[in-house]
């Protein structure tokens, strides 16, 4: 599948939701895309759309050696320009069930770290590249309803900021983008009181625009920037009663 003139991307978490919609957009814009996730059927459904443009690698990021899997996929693609990490998990956990928190941390913290570090080191060695991860507006403040989810997203936001600093210091054209969605209509959108819910197609279209502009941080949809600002300015004395 090697072709020097075609951009190569990997989307981790391409079986559904935002990652699935983004994979389709990338192929529509002439990328060759390596798609991953645990559900093989969903990955092959993508490949069936355009067998020449999709490469499939089905694996669980919390149990497999992510670095090995990604290296194999890059060899299959013949290079890598863009890696998008869209895998994520989390659940409402009013009872503070540790199994839920642990599962969330395994993917959103441990696997996340292994994957973004692998990608950064790959791009550093190559001298260029673009790393994109989907964090969340949820990472801005804590949550009594889903403590590990919000905390893991705060970790991602902070970690990506560190990598952005590292990329700037390297003086190489390496870009690190943190996408912070509000509500998007996927299996991940849980809980009552949802508003400004975007379709996954609309979210993916806006994310692709942010990627093209190589922005450091992008809110999706755009107006969630306002909520981000509001969340940051709410005083602790008020927030703790919410």
**Is the CB of residue 47 less than 8 Å from the CB of residue 122?**
no
Q: Which of residues 140-159 bind ligand NAP (CB under 6 A)?
A: none
CB of 231 to ligand NAP, least distance (A): 13
**Mask 5-44, x = binds ligand NAP (CB under 6 A)?**
--------xxxxxxx-----------------xxx-----
d(CA 32, CA 20): 14
The label of the residue with tokens 């996927």 reads 186
With tokens 């190559």, the residue in question is: 126
Measured from the CB atom, is 37 or 129 closer to ligand NAP? Answer: 37
Q: Which is nearer to ligand NAP, 128 or 229 (CB)?
A: 229
Residue 227 tokens, joined: 């909520």
Binding flag, residue 86, ligand NAP (CB under 6 A):
yes
Which of the 8 DSSP states describes residue 235?
-
Question: What is the x/- site pattern for ligand NAP, positions 93-112, by CB under 6 A?
Answer: --------------x-----
Find the binder of ligand NAP among 54, 120, 175, 183 (CB under 6 A).
183
Measured from the CB atom, the residue of 107 and 140 that comes closer to ligand NAP is 107
- The two most distant CA atoms of the chain are separated, in Å, by 57
Q: Provide the total of helices (H) and of strands (E) in the chain, helices listed first.
A: 9, 7
Nearer to ligand NAP, 158 or 170 (CB): 158
Q: Is residue 186 within the footprint of ligand NAP (CB under 6 A)?
A: yes
Cβ proximity to ligand NAP, 4 vs 187, nearer residue: 187
Residue 190 CB, shortest distance to ligand NAP, in Å, is 8
Displacement of CA 242 from its chain's centroid (Å)? 28
User: Under a CB-based contact definition with an 8 Å cutoff, are residues 198 and 220 in contact?
Assistant: yes
Peptide bond into 213 cis (omega under 30): no
User: What does the alpha-carbon distance between residue 29 and residue 116 come to, in Å, rounded to a whole number?
Assistant: 24
State the number of binding residues for ligand NAP (CB under 6 A).
Answer: 27
Distance, CA of 216 to CA of 11 (rounded, Å): 18
Q: Which is nearer to ligand NAP, 67 or 172 (CB)?
A: 67
Name the residues that contact ligand NAP, by CB under 6 A: 13-19, 37-39, 60-62, 86-89, 107, 134, 136, 181, 183-184, 186-189
């Amino acid at each position: 599948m090697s072709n020097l003139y075609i951009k190569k991307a990997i989307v981790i978490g391409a079986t559904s939701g935002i990652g699935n919609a983004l994979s389709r957009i990338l192929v529509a814009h002439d990328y060759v895309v390596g798609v991953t996730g645990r559900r093989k059927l969903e990955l092959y459904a993508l490949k069936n759309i355009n067998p020449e443009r999709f490469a499939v690698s089905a694996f669980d990021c919390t149990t497999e050696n992510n670095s090995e899997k990604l290296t194999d996929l890059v060899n299959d693609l013949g290079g890598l320009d863009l890696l998008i990490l869209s895998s994520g998990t989390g659940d409402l956990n009013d009872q503070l069930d540790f199994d839920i928190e642990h599962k969330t941390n395994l993917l959103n913290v441990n696997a996340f770290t292994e994957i973004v570090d692998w990608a950064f080191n790959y791009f550093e060695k190559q001298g260029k590249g673009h790393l994109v991860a989907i964090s969340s507006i949820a990472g801005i403040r804590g949550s009594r309803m889903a403590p590990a989810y919000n905390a893991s997203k705060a970790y991602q936001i902070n970690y990506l900021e560190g990598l952005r600093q590292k990329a700037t210091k390297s003086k190489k054209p390496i870009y690190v983008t943190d996408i912070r969605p509000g509500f998007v209509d996927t299996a991940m959108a849980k809980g009552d009181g949802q508003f400004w819910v975007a379709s996954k197609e609309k979210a993916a279209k806006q994310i692709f625009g942010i990627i093209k502009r190589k922005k450091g941080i992008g809110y999706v949809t755009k107006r969630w920037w306002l909520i981000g600002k509001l969340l940051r300015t709410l005083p602790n004395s008020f927030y703790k009663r919410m």
